[in-house]
Structure 1
Amino acid sequence: MAVRMADGPAAGLTEEIHRLKREKNAVILAHNYQRPEVQELADVLGDSLALARAAAKTDADVIVFCGVHFMAETAAMLNPEKTVLLPDLEAGCSLADSITADQLRAWKAEHPGAVVVAYVNTSAEVKAESDYCCTSSNAIEVVRSIPEDREILFLPDMFLGAYVQRVTGRRNMHIWMGECHVHAGIQPSQVKTVLREHPRAELLVHPECGCSTSSVYLAAEGVLPADRTKILSTGGMLKHASSSEAEEFIVATETGILYQMQKRNPGKRFVAANPDAICPFMKRITLDKVRDALRENRYVITVPEDIASRARLAIERMVAIG
């Protein structure tokens, strides 16, 4: 995958965005699943945890969040004095939509005293009902930080929850049955097929994937190559791809990350476990929408303070751990 600099109208659009950024003292944060041209534009590119940390530390007056709605909400709660813009209000998340605050309150009532660990892919209202947030890169550390005698409610991703439970051995951990429709669509059978086609490749699996738990099991059983099967966050995948001596990788996550992997490692080969694993929400943000967000101050993401004040503690715990 060759990396090309923007030219023609795209170059003019990029120049306008940079000018607006300077005028408004803005920073652009972008997730690893964004379109290549948006990744190229970002001041900070990363996974959910890296972007949350960047949002907490920035001295910019305006944060343009090229991601999905819950990410912009998180940035807004960490920076109540700053303006947080989401270039497209329709950039949602099927996983975040899989649990509501009312559902969580009902679940908590069934398990009084349990510690609630919410994946960052949740709404502000759900975070406000939680004790800890986590991302795929620090979920294991968050769970391990909780005393072993405390019951845990882990939500909303069942694949990440099952993976964390297997690694930590926590028997008193209950898991919400939610999923990301894109990651859930990456199945073990697809992984096996691609591995047969690329027998020397390393397998990099995001823990949200429908194949994550089975990959850990199959690697332990010798069906998958244990020394070449890695369960990693998107940020972890990028780091591993650069440090590994392997020359070929099968990547089981949303395909947007392949652009950055190839850019950073031009001599290596990256193959999608499922080429159709494309998040339509992440792809809604375009250069035109980033320009319009800066030019017209749209769309401003805010969270009511009564919700934000309760959610902020869980988010800050997430940022501090792992």
Structure 2
Amino acid sequence: MTVTTEMKSRLIEEIQEWKIKRNAVLLAHNYELPEIQDIADVLGDSLALARAAVTTDAEVIVFCGVHFMAETAAILNPEKTVLLPDLEAGCSLADSITASQLREWKAQHPGAVVVAYVNTTADVKAESDYCCTSSNAVDIVRSIQEDQEILFLPDMFLGSFVKKETGRENMHIWMGECHVHAGIAPHQVETVITQYPEAELLVHPECGCSTSSMYLMSEGVLPEEKTHILSTGNMLKHSKTSSATEFIVATEVGIIHQMEKQNPDKRFIPANREAICPFMKMITLEKVLAALKENKHVITVPPETAKKAKLAIDRMISIG
């Protein structure tokens, strides 16, 4: 069914009413549908949303993102109600490693410190020493003693980026990937750069083109001053402060909505127009309203798992 402008307005009005009734806050990721981004109380990347979940006074957190994000909010707020409007909103990257696989990997490297990207399940976080996001992964790895062996998981592209930035030879990387970011290929980026030679290139470190972008920068193929490997939050900051008027964006295309809102006089070109995460597009206005009215769907984490996972998450929030 097509949702008309009038229907959207009514839905938004009703959502605002129910937010007041429930003393609820709406947190949304930068990749969500435009109409979800527009009604969010807090819009951001995983780190910003985790910090917002800690500081909110609301009794109910409606998380417009994917399952692992809602789990993280539930771990940080055991006394609050955390709702995920669609239980099917998962993550291919989080699915690329299980807790049992991590335990096996740890057994092969006794004494290693485990750094887990926040895109992981609560069970995996509970087996980890640190969590990180793309915006503070380098800072977290640098905070660990240089002679300490590190297991970094699950994203191989982010891991490769962090390893290069820190120069850590004793860092092992799990071979997982986000299928959307992995699909942004180097040849696609090079084609768009040829079409827009004056544009700055903004690359998310999860992308399949991130490693090649670093290599091409070192070889002088990509101009270093115009190529930036950034988290989604830092992409937004950079696009606001840069004097450039055109940007090629190598990440999930949902972020371009916010970029265009914040910079109406600038142009943003997706490196791959098909880089769309189906999980991030599952949450709609209708589902947000149903979550508030019907308490759908409450996300909980077993206390023992939450206790262990919280140690790693707290370290993530405190660094970078």
Task: Quote the Cα distance in structure 2 between the aligned partners of 1:9 and 1:102.
Answer: 47
Structure 1 segment 276-287 matched on structure 2, within 5 A: 276-287=274-285
Q: What secondary structure sits across from 1:8 in the alignment?
A: helix
Structure 1 segment 116-195 matched on structure 2, within 5 A: 116-195=114-193
Given the alignment of the two structures, is residue 68 of structure 1 paired with residue 66 of structure 2, yes or no?
Answer: yes
Q: What secondary structure sits across from 1:34 in the alignment?
A: coil
- Work out which of the residue numbers 89, 93, 96 in structure 2 matches 1:95: 93
Q: What secondary structure sits across from 1:278 in the alignment?
A: coil
* Cross-structure match for 1:79: 77
Given the alignment of the two structures, is residue 235 of structure 1 paired with residue 247 of structure 2, yes or no?
Answer: no
Task: Quote the Cα distance in structure 2 between the aligned partners of 1:141 and 1:177.
Answer: 21
Shift of 1:217: 1.1
Task: Quote the Cα distance in structure 2 between the aligned partners of 1:224 and 1:149.
Answer: 33
Residue type of the alignment partner of 1:238 = L
Shift of 1:7: 3.6
Task: Quote the Cα distance in structure 2 between the aligned partners of 1:225 and 1:203.
Answer: 9
Task: Quote the Cα distance in structure 1 between the aligned partners of 2:187 and 2:126.
Answer: 38
* Cross-structure match for 2:306: 308
Residue type of the alignment partner of 1:237 = M
- Work out which of the residue numbers 49, 56, 59 in structure 2 matches 1:58: 56
Residue type of the alignment partner of 2:72 = T
Task: Quote the Cα distance in structure 2 between the aligned partners of 1:68 and 1:50.
Answer: 15
Unaligned runs of 5+ in 1: 1-5
1:166-201 deviation digits (Å, cap 9, x = unpaired): 010000000000000000000110000000000000
Shift of 1:225: 1.3
Task: Quote the Cα distance in structure 1 between the aligned partners of 2:161 and 2:11.
Answer: 43
* Cross-structure match for 1:40: 38
Structure 1 segment 227-306 matched on structure 2, within 5 A: 227-306=225-304
State the TM-score, normalized to the length of structure 2.
Answer: 0.99
Task: Quote the Cα distance in structure 2 between the aligned partners of 1:39 and 1:25.
Answer: 19
* Cross-structure match for 1:3: none
Q: What secondary structure sits across from 2:281 in the alignment?
A: helix
* Cross-structure match for 1:226: 224
1:257-290 deviation digits (Å, cap 9, x = unpaired): 0000000000000000000000000000000000
* Cross-structure match for 2:206: 208
List structure 1 segments (4+ residues) > 6 angstroms apart after TM superposition: none
Task: Quote the Cα distance in structure 2 between the aligned partners of 1:100 and 1:9.
Answer: 42
Q: What secondary structure sits across from 1:283 in the alignment?
A: coil
1:115-174 deviation digits (Å, cap 9, x = unpaired): 000000000000000000000000000000000010000000000000000010000000
* Cross-structure match for 2:197: 199
Task: Quote the Cα distance in structure 2 between the aligned partners of 1:227 and 1:264.
Answer: 23
Residue type of the alignment partner of 1:205 = V
1:179-232 deviation digits (Å, cap 9, x = unpaired): 000000001100000000000000000000000011011011111111100000
Task: Quote the Cα distance in structure 2 between the aligned partners of 1:292 and 1:109.
Answer: 45
Shift of 1:9: 0.9
State the TM-score, normalized to the length of structure 1.
Answer: 0.98
Task: Quote the Cα distance in structure 2 between the aligned partners of 1:9 and 1:212.
Answer: 41
Residue type of the alignment partner of 1:14 = I
Alignment root-mean-square deviation, CA = 0.6
Task: Quote the Cα distance in structure 1 between the aligned partners of 2:55 and 2:215.
Answer: 39
Task: Quote the Cα distance in structure 2 between the aligned partners of 1:110 and 1:91.
Answer: 33
Residue type of the alignment partner of 1:318 = M
Q: What secondary structure sits across from 1:73 in the alignment?
A: helix
1:72-99 deviation digits (Å, cap 9, x = unpaired): 0000000000000000000000000000
Q: What secondary structure sits across from 2:25 in the alignment?
A: strand
Task: Quote the Cα distance in structure 1 between the aligned partners of 2:96 and 2:165.
Answer: 24
Task: Quote the Cα distance in structure 2 between the aligned partners of 1:151 and 1:214.
Answer: 26
Residue type of the alignment partner of 2:314 = E
Task: Quote the Cα distance in structure 1 between the aligned partners of 2:65 and 2:258.
Answer: 16
Residue type of the alignment partner of 2:265 = G
Unaligned runs of 5+ in 2: none
Residue type of the alignment partner of 2:250 = A
